[in-house]
A and B are shown apart, each in its own frame.
Chain A
């Protein structure tokens, strides 16, 4: 009886470890959660930057520079996405970044 329960417990524990480790084998369940939220992070970042294009004329040159910088930092993250998402969001990011750069240029004359 005890043996059976013990082996059952061990089997359950082993199963939990395997399941927890399944998403990212080496790091386990936390990495999986991190990976999932990182997936959404780039999108959140994209939405945060590019929701501001409508107001771009009211920003200072420094604010615009920082937004353009954030676009440039986001680009490599988008380039790692799967093919279709990459195609779509690279284009959207490009339009967003170019507009911000355009408004920056009109304010600084450079």
Chain B
């Protein structure tokens, strides 16, 4: 009996080690890989490679709000349940990828998913359905982002500054899709204290966030508490992908960059090494 218990323990420990979430360092995605979403609800079933969506190209042209609120994309891979018929009807990807929409500097946006496929269409399908295929991208990351102000981690780009300096101009309204509305009133910044001693407090800028997200993207789905301080969460939840971690760590700059948010120096703190 003792022996089998010991055996059971060994197996338990080994499996525990195998399933451990912490304790090891994961490989950091490269700057052009960061924000990549692989969609495979139906692709392989339909005989295509899974679709690869790179956030960097789209976030350089559109606000988060346009796609995630107006067009209605979910914030988790696979949750939107996009089908070829949806695209062909002019929804989701097909809202712009319809062979007709024109964007300045890009020309006509290629059509996503068509009923009848000819031999030449293979290349067009592969522009999205490219996982595992050696597809030469139309826009190359390093070249496209060469003049953008740089930062560390994530895409390696300071997207906020890129917009402020005019390197990118984000479209926030799509005719026939977006609802005409008045400009958003500017929300106040607020300070969030860190729970650990010595860690600088966070100055949360509503303004910076609403310019790109509007209100609906975060409230109430991501931030449910109506009064500041009602929802108790810590960095543990954030690292798990909740609250701030819904975007930061996946598309927006990752939370491994502590000082990007923890900016308010603790008064009288001693200088570390």
Identify the A interface with B (CB < 8 A): 46-47, 50-58, 83-85, 87-89, 91-92, 95-96, 98-99, 101-103, 105-106
Residue of B nearest to A83 (CB): B85
Query: What 4 A-B pairs come out closest when comparing CB atoms?
Result: A106-B226, A102-B220, A51-B181, A95-B216
> Cβ of A88 and Cβ of B220 under 8 Å apart?
no
Interface size on B, residues (CB 8 A): 29
Tell me the bound Cα distance from A60 to B198 in angstroms.
Answer: 42
Judged by a CB distance under 8 angstroms, whether B185 is at the interface is yes
Q: Which residues of B contact A95 (CB under 8 A)?
A: 69, 216-217, 221
Tell me the bound Cα distance from A95 to B71 in angstroms.
Answer: 12
| Interface of B (DSSP majority class) | loop
> Cβ of B181 and Cβ of A84 under 8 Å apart?
no
Known: A54-B214, A91-B72. A99 touches B81 (CB 8 A): no
> Cβ of B179 and Cβ of A51 under 8 Å apart?
yes
Residue of A nearest to B187 (CB): A57
Identify the B interface with A (CB < 8 A): 69-72, 74, 81, 83, 85-86, 89, 91-92, 179-185, 214-217, 219-221, 224, 226-227
Q: Which residues of B contact A51 (CB under 8 A)?
A: 179-181
> Cβ of B215 and Cβ of A56 under 8 Å apart?
yes
Tell me the bound Cα distance from A17 to B86 in angstroms.
Answer: 36
Known: A91-B72, A92-B72, A99-B215. A57 touches B185 (CB 8 A): yes
Residue of A nearest to B223 (CB): A102
Tell me the bound Cα distance from A75 to B242 in angstroms.
Answer: 28
Which of B85, B89, B91, B216 has most chain A Cβ within 10 Å? B216
Instruction: Select A54's contact among B86, B182, B221, B226, beta carbons within 8 Å.
Output: B182
* 24 contacts across the A-B interface (CB closer than 8 A): A47-B179, A50-B179, A51-B180, A53-B214, A54-B182, A54-B183, A54-B184, A54-B215, A55-B185, A58-B185, A84-B83, A84-B86, A85-B89, A87-B81, A87-B91, A88-B91, A91-B74, A95-B69, A95-B216, A98-B219, A102-B219, A102-B226, A103-B226, A105-B226
> Cβ of A99 and Cβ of B219 under 8 Å apart?
yes
Instruction: Select B215's contact among A53, A83, A88, A105, beta carbons within 8 Å.
Output: A53
CB distance from B81 to the nearest CB of A (A): 7
> Cβ of A88 and Cβ of B180 under 8 Å apart?
no
CB distance from A73 to the nearest CB of B (A): 18
